[in-house]
């Protein structure tokens, strides 16, 4: 019985480690994506305001 408990415990620990790695990986990707999105949104807003300013002149 002790051997079965050890195997089950090892599997549970392995699953927890794998899930935590996956969450950390996708969280980092989400943070990078958000930074890129915000940067591009700022650049687009600046470009649109420049175009509007040129059209007014």
Whole-number Å distance between alpha carbons of 28 and 6: 33
Range of the domain at 32: 25-57
pTM (2 d.p.): 0.61
Whole-number Å distance between alpha carbons of 50 and 57: 11
In a domain, 16, yes or no: no
Ordered alpha helix ranges (H), 1-57: 2-56
In a domain, 29, yes or no: yes
Average pLDDT for residues 27-55, to the nearest whole number?
96
Per the structure, the count of domains in the chain is 1
Instruction: Please determine, for residue 57, whether its predicted confidence score (pLDDT) is greater than 80.
Output: no
In a domain, 14, yes or no: no
Q: Distances from the Cα of 33 to the Cαs of 27, 47, 56, in angstroms?
A: 10, 21, 34
In a domain, 18, yes or no: no
pLDDT, mean over the chain? 95
């Amino acid at each position: 019985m002790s051997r079965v408990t050890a195997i089950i415990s090892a599997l549970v620990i392995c699953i927890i480690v794998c899930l935590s790695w996956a969450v950390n990986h996708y969280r980092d990707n989400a943070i990078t994506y958000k930074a890129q999105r915000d940067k591009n949104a700022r650049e687009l807003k600046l470009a649109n305001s420049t175009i509007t300013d040129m059209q007014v002149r």
